[in-house]
Structure 1
Amino acid sequence: MRILLVKTSSLGDVIHNLPVVSDLQRVFPAATIAWCVEESFADIPRLHPAVTQVIPVAWRRWRKALRRLDTWRQMGDFRRAIGAVEYDIVLDTQGLLKSALIARQARGKRCGYATEAAREPLAARFYDATFVIPRNAHAVLRNRWLAAAACDYPVDLPLDYGICAPTDELPWLHGERPVVLFTATSRDDKLWDEENWCALGQGMVARGLTPVLPAGSASERRRAERIAAALAGALVPPPLTLPQIAGLLGRARLAIGVDTGLAHLAAAMNVPVIAIYVASEPALTGVHGRGFARNLGRPGHPPAVAEVLAHADQALLVSQ
C-alpha cells in the first residue's frame, strides 16, 4: 500500500500530523508512506522512521518569484516528483485550497475534509472523497480522525508522534539540567513580556536548571540575549536546525515557550512542556501529548510568572 500525506505548513501543523504516520504504520505495517511538506519544515517528517519519502514543496518561496523562469522549472520538477508514483491514498489533512491543489498533482484517490469541515471550504471540490470531521476537536484529533475515515480503521489507537531525539553532539551545551525557553514567535502580539521571562528564568536558575534560549533571526537573538543577561549561566546557542533543536529537547528537563511550533515539538517528544498564550486561543491548537503538557493563558489574559512556576514545579516532579 502506498500513501501520500499532504500537510505542508506551518511548523506546529506539521508536527500535529505526525501521529497520523504512527497510526498508519500500526494498521498497515507494510505500507510505504510519503509526505509532501514545505521545504523549510522537511526535517520534521524525516524524524519519523515510518516516513519513507519526503517531497518538499517551495510554494512560500515560489509565490514571491513567479516572474522568474527558474521558479517555473522548479515547479515542473515538483509536479514530476509528486506524480511519479501511483498512490492508493492521497490524504490532505490541511484542508486549504493550496494543499488541495497540491494533492491534485498526485496520482491516486484524493481524500480530504468535507466542505463543512475544511478550513477553506472550496478545497473540498478537489478531492475524490470527503469526510465530515468535527471542527471543534483539537487539530491532532482531526488529523487522526480524517486518516481513519479515509483508510477505514478504528480511531481508538494510542497517541504516538513516533519521533525520537537525534543523538548528535551539542558542544556548546554545558551541564545536564537544561530548561529550554522558547521566547520568540511569529507575531509580536504573541510575545510574553521580557520582564516575565527574566523572572521565570531566575526561578529556573534557583531550581538548579540551566536556561537555554534558542533564537533564529537577529531580532530574536537580541531578545534572547537581553533575557539571558539577567540569568546566571544562561546560554544562547548558535543558530540551530530543527534536528538540532530536537536533540536539545531530548536532553531537557523542561521546555517553556510561547505560541510557537517548537513548543509542539517538545510535546511530540514527550518532554514536559508549558505553552504560554497571550493573543491566541489554545483550545484547538495548543500543546497536546501523552506526557506533561500545559496550555496557560488566553487572548488578552497571559499567565502570571507565579502560575508558570507552579506548573513548572509539577513538571519537574514528573521528569525526575
Structure 2
Amino acid sequence: MKRILIVKVTSLGDIVQALPVIADIKRAFPGVQVDWAADEAFVEVVHWSQSVDRVLFAPLRRFKKSRRWVDLKAIAASIGELRAFRYDCVIDIQGVYKSAIIAFLARSSRRFGYRNKDLGELGAAFAYTGRFGPRPLGNAWQGMRISAGEVLGYQPEGPAVYDMKLPEADAAPFEAGDAPVAALFHATSKDDKKWPVAHWGAVGNELVRRGFRVVLPWGSSGEREEAVAIAALVPGATVLPQMSVNGIAHMIDACSLVVGTDTGFVHVAHALQKRTVMIFVATSPSHFGIEAPYRSISIGDGHSVPPVSEALQAIDYVHSSPLDTSAAQHPATSA
C-alpha cells in the first residue's frame, strides 16, 4: 500500500472528525502516503492535520453559487492535480454526488463508498467498485474509522488521534488575560438547533460567578445581534470582533472551556482537547456528539431543549478532574 485518497469535501466539523482516519491508516501502513480531497472552503482545516501528505481542492461550493468561468477553470485544473498520481485505494467517506465524482475521476481501480441505504445522495453509488459494510452502531465519527478499516483490512484501536497543529495566527492573537476564558458558541447553521438566549444568559452568569471571562464569537450580522443580546444578560461578557476560521481556532485554543451547540467550531474545541460541552436540540447526540472522559460531553436528546441545569451539570463534569494528557504526543493528539 503506497498511496491512498480520502474524499471528505465538507463541512468544518465533519472534516475535523474525519481526520483520525488518517492516523489509523498510517498506523496500519507505516510510510503510506495519504492525500485528501476537499472543497476549497474547507481546505484550511485539512491543512491543520500534520498527517495529510497532499491536499486537493476545488471551488465546488463557490461554483454552485457563482457559475463563473474562473471557478469552472479552477475545477478543471484541480482534476489534473487529482489525476497526477495513481491510488491503491480511494475511500469516499462523504457519500454525495460531488464526492463520488471526485472518487470516480481519481486514478484507481478500487473506489469504496457507503451502501445505498447509507448514502447522502443515492446517485453517488455509480462511482464505487466496492462498498463499506453495514453502518456501525455508535456515532458517525467512529463509524468512519471502522469503515475505512474494513476496506483496508485493519481495526481502528484506541482513542481518535487528530494530529492537528494550528498555523500561525493570521491576525493579532487573541489575548486570554488573567481570568480563564469560556467561549459560548451560540450560533448554528439552522434555527432549530439554537438554544434560547435566556439559557445562554443563565449559563454565562454562572460562569462569571465562577471566575470565568465569557466571550461570544459570531459569523453573520444575525449571529452578532444574538451575541449582543446574550452579552446584555451577562455582566462583563465580551462580544468578539468578527474573526477568520484561523482566528477562531486560535481563540478556542486559548480557552479553558467551550460550550456550544452542534456546530463545527465546537468539534474543533474537542479536537484541540479543550474542556467542551456540546448542546443538542434538534440533532442526534448519539450520532453526532462528542465524548471524552472528564473533558468533552454532549447533552440533550435531540428532540427538545435541554434545561440550563443539564448544561451546568455537564460543565461540572468536564471540570471535575484534571485532564489526563499522558497519551498525547503533541497538542490535539487524541480524543
**Could you tell me the TM-score, scaled by structure 2's length?**
0.88
Is the 2:299–2:314 Cα contact (8 Å) retained in structure 1? Answer: no
Give the Å deviation of 1:229.
Answer: 2.9
After the TM superposition, which of the residue ranges 197-206 and 29-38 deviates more from structure 2? 29-38
Q: Does 1:80 align with 2:80?
A: yes
Q: 1:319/1:41 Cα in 2 relative to 1: closer, same or farther (>3 Å)?
A: farther
Aligned residues: 319
Tell me the equivalent position of 1:131.
132
Gaps of at least 5 residues in structure 1 are none
Give the Å deviation of 1:119.
Answer: 3.1
Tell me the equivalent position of 2:17.
16
Matches within 5 A, 1:234-273: 234-273=237-276
Q: In 2, distance between residues paired with 1:30 and 1:300?
A: 45
Q: In 2, distance between residues paired with 1:81 and 1:210?
A: 46
Tell me the equivalent position of 2:101.
101
Tell me the equivalent position of 2:151.
150
Question: The residue matched to 2:239 in structure 1 has which SS?
Answer: coil
CA RMSD of aligned residues (A): 2.0
Q: In 1, distance between residues paired with 2:136 and 2:152?
A: 20
Letter in 1 for 2:38: V
Give the Å deviation of 1:264.
Answer: 1.1
**Could you tell me the TM-score, scaled by structure 1's length?**
0.92
Shift >6 Å, 4+ stretches: none
After the TM superposition, which of the residue ranges 116-125 and 299-308 deviates more from structure 2? 116-125
Q: Does 1:211 align with 2:214?
A: yes
Tell me the equivalent position of 1:64.
65
Letter in 1 for 2:147: L
Q: 1:289/1:240 Cα in 2 relative to 1: closer, same or farther (>3 Å)?
A: farther
Q: In 1, distance between residues paired with 2:5 and 2:104?
A: 12
After the TM superposition, which of the residue ranges 124-133 and 205-214 deviates more from structure 2? 124-133
Tell me the equivalent position of 1:287.
290
Q: Does 1:301 align with 2:312?
A: no
Q: In 2, distance between residues paired with 1:53 and 1:200?
A: 42
After the TM superposition, which of the residue ranges 22-31 and 127-136 deviates more from structure 2? 127-136
Give the Å deviation of 1:166.
Answer: 5.2
After the TM superposition, which of the residue ranges 118-127 and 185-194 deviates more from structure 2? 118-127
Is the 1:175–1:210 Cα contact (8 Å) retained in structure 2? Answer: no
After the TM superposition, which of the residue ranges 259-268 and 172-181 deviates more from structure 2? 172-181
Letter in 2 for 1:50: S
Question: The residue matched to 2:116 in structure 1 has which SS?
Answer: coil
Give the Å deviation of 1:239.
Answer: 2.1
